[in-house]
Chain A
Amino acid sequence: MTMSLMMIRRAMLIAFIVALIAVPWIVPALINKFWVSVIAEIMIWSLFAASVNLLFGYVGLLSFGQALYFGFGMYGVAIGISTLGLSFWPAFGLGIIASVAIAFVAGIFAVRLTWHYFAIITVVFSLIFYFFAVSVKAVTGGDDGINFTLPPTFSFGGYTGSFSNETFQYFFIFAAVAFCFFLMHRVIQSPLGKAFVAIRDNDTRAELIGLNVYQLRLIAFVMSGFLAGVSGALFAFFGRYASASYMFYHVSGEAVVWAIVGGAGTLLGPIVGTTLFIVIREVVSTHWEHHSLIVGVMAILVVILAPTGLVGLWNERLARWSAREKVPATRTSLQSEP
């Protein structure tokens, strides 16, 4: 990769982060306050789409059941607060532990399979737990879900904050999501991440060079369950409730579309895809009830015209532009950079 290419990417990433930090002041001034919480929601769903991307984009396993781990994160928080009377951090922890634990159990069975068999078993798992959650109304609240009031404050060091303060809520979500994306970036660049991509590219060869493919797929599956669990837990705090409807496979499917349209196998692809579709939903749905038609048409167009997703397309353009600038052309590596 050429220096200039790396610098362009760095600069864009920094600009993006600065823009996100400025949101609580700029957005209410330019548009209105409502959009601050939309952006917070986009960040949460981007993290959820990233959990699909980690499995599909980097390990080659297409999961249609990520909503299950999202749901466990949600219910961990909701049950922790409303039933067990936990405070903020223990409830957050319970949500994450619950989703990681169920991802581990489901993963033991699921990662024995690949391709459509894997996709089917992940759907089946999430459906089983969806119907289970709907039927045990006493614990989960069924279709109505569980509403809870947040523990009024939580403290971290000397600082105390509350989700009832919208700016605080926004920054808490921003910090948690940014931290998860940073973790994912580190993993992708590590020897473990390279092994993931090797398995995605050629699993027989990966096994023959000595990689324990089953174990590595299970690790990726649990990591992806962690990302989905964190997003679910954040969404529970954000919405102050948990509902079985978020465990339905429709929710999983949306994340798959977001990740693929944004660019599977790129770190920031899920953010781009999620942002695009949620903005369309928010803008169009107030004027036209069939907004999902636009979503469908766009998804089809992107898959046909830009199989690597929007970020993949952007990376190719950037690489070509940089190659033309510098003569002789410098070779670009197919890094999984943003």
Chain B
Amino acid sequence: MTESVLLVEGLTKRFGGLTAVNKLNLSITSGRLHAIIGPNGAGKTTFFNLISGLYTADSGRVLFKGRNITGLKPYEISRIGIKRTMQIKSVFPQLSVSENLWVTRNATNGVLHPFRSASSDHATRERVEFTLEQIGLTPLANRAAGTLSYGDVALLEIGMALISDPQLLLLDEPTCGMSPAETARTVDKIKILAQTIDIVIIEHDMEVVFEIADDITVMTQGENLVSGSPAEISGDERVREAYLGRPEDEDYVEEAAHA
């Protein structure tokens, strides 16, 4: 059996009467890009919030490389090496592009130096400059992140993920709201990243999913409907039902056929 980087057992999260994530079981295999798909409200983002510690699970547990990380604080989980991006692009708007990278690079240090000038830290400076080259934002290094275009913010987010040397990267709809050109650019970056980092991605764009994913998990109503290879998923009757409705519901099938 291959090594599983992330093992989720019976994970449950309720909000009042709503069970957003319901006894979810999932194994993410190391070295394979894993996509999570499913209709709106299936609990995908809640699942990410549980892994990254923003929400506390009601029951169940999450093992990262065999270590139980259930109930740890977000910064503790981040320091272990699990990083994520947000569905709504999220950077530090008043800091410059390079400062965003800088602060991310230093964030996992237990102690932040209170007096040394940030600019005298040569190791970090070199790494920041390298990452700026990688994501192609060198010309915008001194711009405040809040003034960037949407696509550049997305690149900056990926840069922030890169510079923190993650072991597991959770990407929440990285191409959401992007133009086709920006999507293509982002997909390329993700492919390169996936060669060295374990990635779990939530994505609505099926073209993107089937282009990059090695494994796919379909979530509905907080549960793991099915996990498998892209070929298995695309041929699965239950998945078609979940997305398109039942076969006898002819309107839906027709609509889908013409879409």
Contact = CB atoms under 8 A, between A and B. Distances in A.
Nearest to B116: A190
B164 A210 contact: yes
Interface string B116-152: 1111010000000000000000000011100000000
Interface string A194-215: 1101101110111111111100
Contacts, number: 113
A211 B73 CA distance: 11
Interface string A307-319: 0000000000000
B96 A333 contact: yes
Contact of A210 (B54, B108, B142): B108
Given A208-B52, A208-B84, A210-B164, A197 B114 contact: no
A333 B143 CA distance: 6
Nearest to A216: B112
A209 B92 CA distance: 11
A333 B142 contact: yes
A303 interface: no
A205 B92 contact: yes
Interface of A is mostly: helix
B204 interface: no
Contacts of A216: 112
Interface in B73-109: 73-75, 78-79, 83-84, 86, 90-96, 99, 102-104, 106-109
B74 A187 contact: no
B160 interface: yes
Nearest to A213: B75
Contact of B95 (A186, A192, A194): A194
Contact of A198 (B95, B113, B117): B95
Contacts of B92: 197-198, 201-202, 205-206
Contacts of B119: 189
Contact of A209 (B94, B113, B160): B160
A183 B115 CA distance: 8
A157 interface: no
Contacts of A202: 90-93
A158 interface: no
A201 B108 contact: no
Interface in A137-182: none
B230 to A, nearest CB: 29
Contacts of A206: 92, 107
A202 B54 CA distance: 14
B75 A190 contact: no
A183 B84 CA distance: 35
Contacts of B90: 202, 204-205
Given A195-B107, A331-B142, A331-B143, A209 B95 contact: no
Given A204-B90, A334-B144, A210 B78 contact: yes
A266 B218 CA distance: 50
Interface string B155-196: 000001000100000000000000000000000000000000
Given A187-B115, A189-B118, A190-B114, A205 B78 contact: no
A207 B115 contact: no
Contacts of A208: 52, 54, 74-75, 78, 83-84, 86
A296 interface: no
A191 interface: yes
B74 to A, nearest CB: 4
A194 B102 contact: yes
Interface string A262-305: 00000000000000000000000000000000000000000000
A201 B74 contact: no
A72 B45 CA distance: 47
Contacts of B86: 204-205, 208
Given A202-B93, A210-B75, A333 B144 contact: yes
Interface string B44-59: 0000000010100000
Interface in B2-30: none
Nearest to A186: B115
Given A201-B92, A209-B83, A190 B115 contact: yes
A310 to B, nearest CB: 19
A207 B104 CA distance: 10
Contacts of B91: 202, 205
A103 B171 CA distance: 40
B172 to A, nearest CB: 11
A192 B78 CA distance: 18
A187 B113 CA distance: 9
B10 to A, nearest CB: 25
A201 B93 contact: yes
A205 B54 CA distance: 10
B116 A191 contact: yes
A32 B64 CA distance: 72
A211 B110 CA distance: 9
Contacts of B94: 197, 200-201, 334
Contacts of A334: 94-96, 144
Contacts of B96: 333-334
Give the 5 A-B CB pairs with smallest separation, nearest first: A210-B78, A201-B92, A210-B108, A210-B107, A192-B112
6 contacts: A190-B115, A191-B121, A197-B103, A208-B54, A333-B96, A333-B142
Given A191-B102, A195-B112, A197-B94, 4 more contacts: A1-B142, A190-B112, A193-B114, A333-B142
